[in-house]
């Protein structure tokens, strides 16, 4: 009863004490695995949750490819991983996931021929509206469109795996909002970075369900990490970080479910679900937010159009 009440409080579920309580129910054997021969791609891998997922999966024997936007930070992360996990196999590739053409070019020219796991972890929470070079609002481009394009481009290489998995890192911040595509470019209202972020994180969960429906051979999962003390939280939500820093999870704790979803053998074929601390979590807790899921097909079509549609002379989607 006490656990139920603490989980309903949100704070004492998403914080460090929540992880410590939930961890008592973990099965240690779930991660008693050898991932030798498996190839894992992780976006946003140079710090925070992505870095910890690299460390955890590298320690289990996987060959881990760090997909990072910044060369210096990526190199620093690679050196640290090689130092801290000397038996691990790590590789750095530069990729700006917010750019559809970058994602497609990476897959076409440099991606491994067989990919066992893709973790779409990279994300941004901008304080002001910005567009990518392709003319797409930055938050949507990084959190939704880029991961969609990368996942889609990698499907043939994922098919070559005996147990292909894609993991979408969402956020508990999506709970208060419904999927809403009415102004996804944020051109008709004042920009609100926190709201834009929440909407994209809701979109990730909806797309996860659609990936599971459309690609039944693929184990597609979404998760949220709770409240973790990461560089992204410190820079994007400074006030929130100041108020909660004493109770935030360690990055390792936030990344635990990412590692579990990538490695646990009994999850093979368990697709389309949303996870938190190694347990299935509801996708809706606020009444009315489920109404937006009816726009899922429109979201899928929008992403396809932005990836495939006509482009102007500098490569930007004309639909923007």
Active site residues: 197
Exposed/middle/buried for residue 106 (C-beta within 10 Å: 0-12, 13-18, 19+): buried
Largest interatomic CA distance in the chain = 61
**DSSP element (H, E) containing 197:** helix 193-214
**Alpha carbon of 15 to those of 91, 248, 288, 305: distances in Å?**
32, 5, 26, 39
Cα 7 to Cα 14: distance, rounded to the nearest angstrom: 8
Cα 262 to Cα 193: distance, rounded to the nearest angstrom: 30
Nearest to 147 by CA among 225, 219, 205: 205
Rg (CA), the chain: 19
Residue spans of beta strands (DSSP E) within 142-253: 165-169, 219-223
Residue spans of beta strands (DSSP E) within the chain: 39-43, 63-68, 89-94, 117-120, 165-169, 219-223, 273-276, 279-280
The pair of structure tokens assigned to 211 is: 């990936």
Phi, psi values for residue 13, rounded to 5°:
-105, -45
What percent of the chain is helix, strand and coil (3-state, nearest 5)?
Answer: 50, 15, 40
Nearest to 93 by CA among 37, 35, 42, 144: 42
């Amino acid at each position: 009863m006490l656990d139920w009440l603490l989980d309903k409080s949100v704070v004492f579920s998403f914080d460090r004490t929540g992880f410590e309580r939930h961890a008592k129910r973990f099965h240690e054997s779930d991660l008693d695995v050898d991932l030798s021969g498996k190839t894992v791609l992780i976006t946003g891998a140079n710090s925070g949750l992505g870095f910890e997922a690299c460390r955890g999966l590298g320690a289990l024997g996987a060959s881990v490819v760090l997909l990072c936007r910044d060369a210096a930070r990526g190199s620093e992360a690679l050196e640290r991983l090689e130092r801290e996990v000397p038996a691990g196999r790590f590789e750095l590739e530069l990729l700006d996931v917010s750019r559809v053409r970058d994602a497609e070019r990476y897959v076409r020219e440099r991606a491994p021929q067989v990919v066992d796991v893709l973790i779409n972890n990279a994300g941004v929470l901008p304080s002001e509206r910005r567009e990518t070079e392709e003319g797409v609002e930055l938050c949507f481009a990084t959190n939704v469109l880029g991961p969609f394009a990368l996942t889609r481009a990698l499907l043939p290489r994922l098919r070559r795996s005996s147990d292909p998995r894609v993991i979408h890192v969402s956020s508990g911040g999506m709970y208060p909002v419904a999927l809403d595509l009415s102004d996804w470019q944020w051109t008709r209202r004042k920009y609100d970075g926190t709201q834009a972020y929440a909407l994209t994180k809701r979109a990730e969960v909806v797309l996860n369900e659609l990936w599971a429906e459309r690609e039944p051979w693929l184990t597609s999962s979404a998760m949220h990490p709770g409240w973790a003390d990461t560089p992204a939280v410190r820079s994007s939500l400074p006030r929130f970080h100041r108020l909660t820093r004493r109770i935030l999870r360690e990055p390792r704790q936030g990344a635990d479910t990412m590692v579990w979803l990538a490695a646990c053998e009994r999850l093979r074929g368990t697709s389309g679900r949303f996870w938190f601390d190694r347990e299935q979590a509801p996708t809706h807790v606020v009444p009315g937010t489920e109404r937006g899921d009816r726009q899922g097909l429109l979201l899928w079509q929008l992403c396809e159009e932005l990836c495939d549609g006509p482009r102007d002379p500098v490569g930007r989607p004309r639909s923007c």
